[in-house]
Chain A
Amino acid sequence: MAESIPNAAPASGDGHQDHHGHEEPSFWSKYLFSTDHKMIAMQYLFTGMAMALIGGFMAYAFRMQLAFPGIDVPGFGIVTPANYNALVTNHGAIMIFWVAMPVLIAAFGNYLIPLMCGCDDMVFPKINRLSYQIFLISALVLLTSYFVEGGGFGGAWTAYPPLSAKAEYSLTPLGSTIWLSAVALEFVAFLLGGINFITTAMNSRAPGMKLYDIPIVVWMIVIASILFLVSVGPLIAGAIMLLFDQNLGTAFFDPARGGDPILWQHLFWFFGHPEVYVVLLPALGITAEIITVFSRKKLFGYRTVLHTTIATGVLSFTVWAHHQFIAGVDPRMAHVFTLTTLLISVPIAEMMFVYIATLYGGSIRLTTPMLWALAFIAEFLIGGVTGIFLGASGADVYFHDTYFVLAHFHYTFFPIAIIGTFAGLTFWFPKMFGRMMSDRLGKIHFWGSIIPFNFIFIPLFVLGMGGQHRRIFDYSNFPELSLPWMQDIRVLATSALLVMLSFQVVFFYNFIKSLRSGEKAGKNPWNANTLEWTTESPPPHGNWKELPTVYRGPYEYSLPDREKDYWPQNEPN
Chain B
Amino acid sequence: MIESIVPAASSYAWEIDYLFTFMFVMVGFWFLACEGIFFWLIFKFRAKDGQRAQHITGDEKHLKRWITIPHMLVLVCDIFILGGAVKVWYDIKQYLPEPQQTVRVIGQQWTWTFVHPGPDGRLDTADDIYKVNELHLQNGVTYHYKLESVDVLHDFSVPVFRLKQDAIPGRVITGWFEPTLEGEFDIQCAEICGIGHGLMAARVFIESGDKHAAWMASETPLALAANVQPQQIGEE
Contacts and interface: CB of A to CB of B under 8 A. Distances in A.
Given A349-B74, A466-B5, A328 B88 contact: no
B30 A385 contact: yes
Interface in A232-278: 255-256, 261-262
Contact of A382 (B5, B6, B31, B74): B31
B190 A163 contact: no
Interface size class of A (residues with CB under 8 A): 35 or more
Given A256-B169, A298-B56, A328-B165, A473 B89 contact: no
Interface in A394-420: 394-395, 397-398, 400-402
A392 B84 contact: yes
Interface stretch (A178-186, A335-343, A433-441, A445-453): A335-343
B20 A356 contact: no
B69 to A, nearest CB: 10
A255 B58 contact: no
B173 interface: yes
Contacts, number: 286
Contacts of B51: 363
A326 B85 contact: no
A565 B50 CA distance: 12
Contacts of B188: 467, 469, 478
A368 interface: no
B37 A363 contact: no
Contacts of A262: 168
Interface in B90-117: 91-94, 109
Contacts of A255: 168-171
Interface stretch (A7-15, A506-514, A516-524, A554-562): A554-562
A400 B185 CA distance: 19
B61 interface: no
A534 B153 CA distance: 57
A349 B19 contact: no
B94 A331 contact: yes
Interface stretch (B123-131, B134-142, B155-163, B210-218): B155-163
Given A163-B193, A256-B169, A377-B38, A169 B109 contact: yes
A477 B2 contact: no
Interface string B22-64: 0110011011001101110110011110011111111000011
A360 interface: yes
20 contacts: A160-B153, A163-B192, A169-B193, A256-B169, A262-B168, A300-B58, A342-B81, A346-B78, A356-B34, A359-B45, A363-B45, A363-B47, A363-B51, A363-B52, A385-B31, A393-B93, A397-B93, A400-B155, A401-B155, A465-B6
Interface of A: 80-82, 84-85, 154-156, 160-163, 169-171, 255-256, 261-262, 295-302, 304, 325-328, 331-332, 334-335, 338-339, 342-343, 345-346, 349-350, 352-354, 356-357, 359-366, 374, 377-378, 381-382, 385, 388-389, 392-395, 397-398, 400-402, 462, 465-467, 469-475, 477-481, 557-560, 565
